[in-house]
Amino acid sequence: MSTQTELTIVIPTKNESLLLPLLLDSLVKQDYPGMRHTKVFVADAGSTDGTQDIALSYDPLLDIEVIPGGLPSIGRNAGARLAQTKFVLFIDADMELRDKTLIRRSLELANKRNLHCVTTNIVCRNGGFRDDFLYLANNIAQYGSLLVKPFSTGMYMLFETATFHNLGGFHEKALYAEDYLLSKKVRNRNFGIVSGAIYTTNRRFRNMGHFTIATMFLKTALNTWNDSYFMRDQEYWT
């Protein structure tokens, strides 16, 4: 395993000064031997709260660089275009990798089983019953998708870089669930779920409501074979 050329990390951001440090701190603590030499691109969509300065303050600990971003699909693609490694890992800015072995084990699983895409489970830190229930439903759906069309969110998505580009990357005109549009293109046998979990907040539920998010999730499943649905504005980013 080459510790200096195997992985690139891409984090799309916009005004994430409060949560980004949790993610970057957890990256520093990862036991992946190549972590210090892993390029971390923060694709920022014009933050006005100091997000870019916070990211760059980690330069002594991570090989970090801020690049222009936009909507998550645009930012992720921008980082992936700069990747010169076998794998590219997309992580949302409000994540925290409390398991210091997660990145190493994700890469080991991808290499061992020749996987093109690897994700993991999602846990809501400091959430209530409804938050925990909906993320549990998300995790169950990911395992169930192995029988139909692979399902992964962009919260944590490790991709083989060549396959990512061959599949066209994230659809930049998609206004909703661009991560699912991409993951469902992966062959079932080349899709994996690494044990463990990443931790996130319940802000998606606070902003839109549990019922609205649950309804959108159900509609996503029902429109698996209807890509035009994802090109319409579902008011997810408003």
Q: CATH number of the domain that 195 lies in? A: 3.90.550.10
The residues facing 10 across adjacent strands are: 41, 90
Residue 237 within a domain: no
| Cα four-point dihedral sign 170, 204, 136, 7 | positive
* Cα separation of the two ends of the chain: 42
Tell me the pLDDT tens digit for each residue of 213-232: 778 777 777 677 777 767 76
Distance between CA atoms of residues 138 and 42, nearest Å:
26
Distance between CA atoms of residues 141 and 148, nearest Å:
10
Q: What percentage of residues in the chain have a pLDDT greater than 90?
A: 67
Local structure of residue 96 (DSSP, 8 states): B
Parallel/antiparallel/unpaired status of strands 87-91 and 39-44: unpaired
Q: How many domains does the chain have?
A: 1
129: how many CB neighbours lie within 10 A of its CB?
7
The residues facing 26 across adjacent strands are: none
Residue 236 within a domain: no
Tell me the pLDDT tens digit for each residue of 141-166: 899 989 888 989 889 999 999 999 99
2 pLDDT higher than 50: no
The DSSP-derived string for 72-87 is HHHHHHHHHHH--SSE
Contact (CB, 8 A) for 30 and 104: yes
Q: What percentage of residues in the chain have a pLDDT greater than 70?
A: 92
Residue 2 within a domain: no
pTM: 0.90
- Whole domain around residue 211: which residue ranges? 7-231
Tell me the pLDDT tens digit for each residue of 111-143: 999 999 999 999 998 888 888 988 898 899 899
Residue 200 within a domain: yes
Which amino acid makes up residue 53?
D
Angle at 155 between CA 104 and CA 31, to 5 degrees: 20
